C-alpha cells in the first residue's frame, strides 16, 4: 500500500479508496469501504512519517466528494497534531506530492 501511495505522489495525483483497494488486490483483499482500509492507511502514515512529514493518506479520496474520509481528518488532528488554523487537507496533499515527486532531470 505504501508503494502504491508513493507512486501516486510521484505522479502528482490522488486516487479513490476503491482504486487503492484494487491496486493492492493482488496481494491483499481490502474492501474500500471497510474499517480495515482506515486502519491500514493510519498504519501507512505512522510508518512513513515521524509526525512532521506529510501524511501519505492525504492522497486517498472519496470518489464522489474528492476529499478524504472523516477518519483521515481525525487521524490528522489526534496523532499528527495538524491543529494549525491554516492547515488544510489540500496543503497536506500538496506537501506529500512535493516530498515524493521525482526531480526533473535536464
6 in a structural domain: yes
- For residue range 52-71, what is the model confidence (pLDDT) as tens digits? 899 999 999 999 999 999 99
The pLDDT value given to residue 94:
96
Q: What's the pTM?
A: 0.86
Q: Is the pLDDT of residue 5 over 60?
A: yes
CB 55 within 8 A of CB 45: yes
Q: How far apart are the first and last CA of the chain?
A: 31
Domain extent at residue 88: 2-100
Mean pLDDT, range 38-53, rounded to an integer: 89
40 in a structural domain: yes
The pLDDT value given to residue 104:
62
pLDDT confidence band for 105 (50 / 70 / 90) = very low
106 in a structural domain: no
Domain total of the chain: 1
105 in a structural domain: no
The pLDDT value given to residue 52:
83
Residues 6+ apart with CB under 8 A from 44: 1, 2, 5, 56, 57
67 in a structural domain: yes
Say how far apart CA 79 and CA 70 lie, in whole Å.
Answer: 14
Amino acid at each position: 500500500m505504501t508503494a502504491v501511495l508513493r507512486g501516486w505522489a510521484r505522479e502528482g495525483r490522488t486516487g479513490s479508496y476503491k482504486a487503492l483497494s484494487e491496486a493492492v488486490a493482488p496481494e491483499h483483499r481490502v474492501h474500500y469501504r471497510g474499517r480495515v482500509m482506515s486502519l491500514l492507511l493510519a498504519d501507512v502514515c505512522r510508518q512513513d512519517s515521524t509526525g512532521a512529514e506529510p501524511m501519505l493518506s492525504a492522497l486517498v479520496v472519496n470518489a464522489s466528494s474528492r476529499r478524504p474520509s472523516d477518519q483521515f481528518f481525525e487521524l490528522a488532528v489526534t496523532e499528527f497534531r495538524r491543529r494549525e488554523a491554516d492547515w488544510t487537507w489540500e496543503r497536506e496533499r500538496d506537501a506529500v506530492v512535493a516530498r515524493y515527486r521525482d526531480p526533473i532531470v535536464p
